[in-house]
Chains A and B, each alone.
Chain A
Amino acid sequence: MGLASKHLLGISELTPAEIVHVLDTAETFRAISQREIKKVPTLRGRTVINLFFEPSTRTRTSFELAGKRLSADTINISASTSSVTKGETLLDTARNLEAMSPDFIVIRHPSAGAPHALARICRAAVINAGDGAHEHPTQALLDALTIRQHKGRIEGLRVAIIGDLLHSRVARSNMHLLTKLGAEVRLAGPGTLVPAEFQALVAEGDLRVESRIEEAIEGADVVMVLRIQRERQSAAFFPSLREYAVHYGLNLKRLGGAHPDAIVMHPGPMNRGIEIASDVADGSRSLILDQVSNGLAVRMAVLYLLAGGSVLNQNMLAQTKPETATTTDTHAGTTTASAPAERLEPVAAGQTKSDDKRRVKSADHN
């Protein structure tokens, strides 16, 4: 099973079954990053363009590594170094990139809907890496993967999402995903940043806006803290960062209202001491770095599934050069040397293993 759509534009278009499928696939990919040789030939010969019109550390690195670990050629373009600075429009940039026949365009853009515009004109699969305040689907998927690993399930969990929801694409994607998988979602933050209309965001599902953040956190299994998006706030939505930290920041005292085993998540980058206190961010319940590791697996899964990946078999997990690595990984250990990954890669037929090595190396230099 692949995904119904050729593109990944948002969680709102995915079915619960598709979401679970991405998570299951990502679970399998996690193993690869734990090996010494962190690369499989699954997407060899494919090209991934990361087109970033906003600053990003985590998402861009994560997509780049995801592509590289699947042996795709990955290229990064950021707005500050592109022809956008010469006045080229988004669609012209996209058409020019299309002319070079990429297989994937991963786009981050400050305008909601920019990936949708690209998807209308591109043959390549378009992956939304965050569009304005609309969606950030891979972030929600990696959050779900992290929750599932620690709680074993999503259904029936109480999840509090607190902070600047109005400007947050992460919040919207998470609201869609968590309600689709049956979680109880509670929202809270300053009234200026958490409009009551959020309750109507999803047609079905348990989504509620609480008036105080303590109410949202009460009994929560998961507390997601959102970043104060200073760059998107054209007007003052609250009086001062100091006041925000005091009244809306997640500290140990507020976290005390949550379930004793509650986990804490933050999509990054954090404003320490504002929306999250350092002792919470660095505490034992914080999964912030797990989220980052899972991001890589989720993005590998998304690239794989959009490339038409169907049944995930063990061949796919075969390392590029198994003989050069001492196979300590348990997953890879189940792979037999006679079942090379080339089966998934028609172009690889007839190639020698040394060819593989050279190709992969050259890809690394792009």
Chain B
Amino acid sequence: MKLLIVNGYLIDPTQGLNGGKNLLIEDGRVAALVAHNEGVPEGAEVFDARGLVVAPGFIDLHTHLREPGQEYKETIASGAAAAVAGGWTSVCAMPNTDPVNDNPAVTRFIIEQAERAALANVFPVGAITKNSEGAELAEMGEMRRAGIVAVSDDGRPVPSAGVMRRAMEYARGFDLPVVDHCEDRSLTAGGVMHEGNWSLRLGLRGHPALAEEMDALRDIALAELTGARVHLAHVSTRGALAAVRRAKERGLSVTCEVTPHHFTLEDDAVRDYDTNTKMCPPLRSHEHVEAILEALADGTIDAIATDHAPHHADEKALEYDQAPFGITGLETAVGLAFERLVHAGVVGLERLVQLCSVNPAKIFSLAGRGTLRVGAHADVTILDPEHVWTFTASGSQSKSRNTPFDNWTMRGAAVATIVAGRVVYRRNETTEAAASHR
């Protein structure tokens, strides 16, 4: 099975590639990179990418797929459909399912369901502690053997520095990155939005920025002590970003990601109490958003991740302080990144590809991904930087509709997604493509 992507503009920072090339894919792997004027090999299907950017497949380090246990919010199949519709060829599934992915049986189940869905690659992230309770270590080695790529107690951060130290020491033995959602819960108890002028005005309890910074400082100190690979999830504050910047200067193995909603919206978005502005960490104030943009530009931030967190409409239709945290994000991330970062001049296209593909592959050690080198997995994201489109929640592939970006018009989109050499999504053919794979 051969696929030739012709007339595209290839961007692959791993090979210093930034120009016109045809990309030949054979049996799920990159077979060759050839000049535009070379002929079509016999038996190859042709994908015309004229005017489009061809990039190594985008990898989302932070996705909540909800299966097993909360299939009414999302399934692995629906989440994978949303992923490919948003340009993501791979997603890393956070372990806070029911049951928690804290043992190899759950890990294997997730991988099998993903194989059945046959859309995006799904890489499970295992829990750090049993049931993510922050006490006893989960079976990281066994889960590693079953297929996890990292460990995290996302959403229920390990409160004890002592437990986190042991987790890092242990995870290092399996070369597993430890992912932490930085939040000192003694500072955020009862909080539902960023603590600042808006929380005070709206009468809502706040999460101080310091709660993230303090936990980030703790994790960085522990990374230094243990030598573990530490990845900080959805960093949203100036202080935590400064801490990561210092850690990198000192050569520690510390990386971090940021979400599109944190560089797009500020805490004033909560003003009408729309529960689709409620997530954790919360939307921050202007100074923090500025710090995120600076850190995206200067390289402190390694990756853009969605923190796609589907919730049923009934759950979000509660009072603001009662509604669950989280918004969907797989289908809006690339559009927002173009709109807020590329077209706004914060980062160039090459850096976007690093943030969404090259670096995520490195951070979770996904061999043969995040690159279009010959022999790599043929995961490709095809982008149209000028495509103007409007996202509608009702047209989403996700089972959930909890997004603050309903009816947002954006310039720039992923227009086709290729996983293992197979075109699993093409814009305007969304419904058929995704439906046929369900």
- Establish whether residues A197 and B203, one from each chain, have CB atoms under 8 Å apart when the complex forms: no
Tier of interface size on chain A: 20 to 34
Q: How far is the CA of A201 from the CA of B272 in the complex (A)?
A: 16
1/0 per residue B52-94: CB within 8 Å of A? 0000000000000000000000000000000000000000000
- Establish whether residues A201 and B197, one from each chain, have CB atoms under 8 Å apart when the complex forms: yes
Task: Indicate whether A198 sits within 8 Å of B200 (C-beta atoms), given known contacts A111-B322, A113-B273, A117-B319.
Answer: yes
Q: How far is the CA of A113 from the CA of B201 in the complex (A)?
A: 11
Task: Indicate whether A134 sits within 8 Å of B319 (C-beta atoms), given known contacts A112-B273, A116-B273, A201-B197.
Answer: no
Task: Indicate whether A172 sits within 8 Å of B189 (C-beta atoms), given known contacts A111-B320, A113-B273, A197-B197.
Answer: no
CB < 8 Å neighbour of B318 from A90, A172, A197, A235: A90
Q: How far is the CA of A201 from the CA of B200 in the complex (A)?
A: 7
Tier of interface size on chain B: 10 to 19
Residues of B within 8 A of A89 (CB): 314, 317-318
1/0 per residue A91-127: CB within 8 Å of B? 1000000000000000001011110110000000000
A222 → chain B, closest Cβ, in Å? 22
- Establish whether residues A113 and B202, one from each chain, have CB atoms under 8 Å apart when the complex forms: yes
Residues of A within 8 A of B272 (CB): 113, 116
For residue B321, CB closer than 8 A to chain A, the reply is yes
For residue A169, CB closer than 8 A to chain B, the reply is yes
B199 → chain A, closest Cβ, in Å? 9
Residues of B within 8 A of A172 (CB): 201, 203
Give the total number of A-B pairs whose CB atoms are below 8 A apart: 56
For residue B204, CB closer than 8 A to chain A, the reply is yes
For residue A132, CB closer than 8 A to chain B, the reply is yes
Q: How far is the CA of A112 from the CA of B206 in the complex (A)?
A: 13
A202 nearest in chain B by CB position: B201
Residues of B within 8 A of A197 (CB): 196-197, 200
- Establish whether residues B321 and A112, one from each chain, have CB atoms under 8 Å apart when the complex forms: yes
Task: Indicate whether A113 sits within 8 Å of B196 (C-beta atoms), given known contacts A131-B203, A234-B189.
Answer: no
B194 → chain A, closest Cβ, in Å? 12
B113 → chain A, closest Cβ, in Å? 31
1/0 per residue B199-215: CB within 8 Å of A? 01111100000000000
Q: Which of B296-333 contact A (CB under 8 A)?
A: 314, 317-322
Residues of B within 8 A of A114 (CB): 319
For residue A12, CB closer than 8 A to chain B, the reply is yes
For residue A135, CB closer than 8 A to chain B, the reply is yes
Known pairs A131-B203, A195-B200, A235-B189; list 13 more (Cβ under 8 Å): A111-B319, A111-B321, A112-B273, A113-B273, A113-B319, A116-B272, A116-B273, A117-B273, A117-B320, A132-B203, A172-B203, A198-B200, A200-B197
B: residues with CB less than 8 A from A are: 189-190, 196-197, 200-204, 272-273, 314, 317-322
